[in-house]
Amino acid sequence: MLKANRTEKEVKNLPTRIASKKSSSANKLPSIKCSSCGAEIVLVQNVKLVSEAVEAHVESHRSKIKNPIRSEAEAERIRDDLITQVFKTAGEHKFARNSKRAC
Ligand SMILES: [Zn+2]
């Protein structure tokens, strides 16, 4: 459980950090952009990392809204937006070609 927490923290920083360097040509990995705040999430070739990064970003939006009903609706909207982009972008880049199953 502790290990899972640690990786979750690393995941939270990793993909968005890479994107913030603005090295779009050097960085060949595709990325998606949150339509609400413009934050980028890099689609690393690890589905689990990407989905955790999406969840971490959804959580960051959710935590900004105090009203639980509104925050839940916002979280759903952001998640929907990001996941749609993940599939669309991943399809364009044939992203899942090399996927290895860890479990
Ligand atoms: Zn956002």
DSSP H or E segment with residue 33: strand 31-33
Quote the tokens at residue 24: 């779009």
Ligand 1 centre to CA of 41 (Å) is: 10
Ligand 1 centre to CA of 47 (Å) is: 19
Highest mean pLDDT out of 23-37, 43-57, 86-100? 43-57
- Mark the residues whose beta carbon lies below 5 A from ion ligand 1: 34, 36-37, 39
Give the global pTM.
0.66
Residue 28 in this model has a pLDDT that exceeds 90: no
Ligand 1 centre to CA of 36 (Å) is: 5
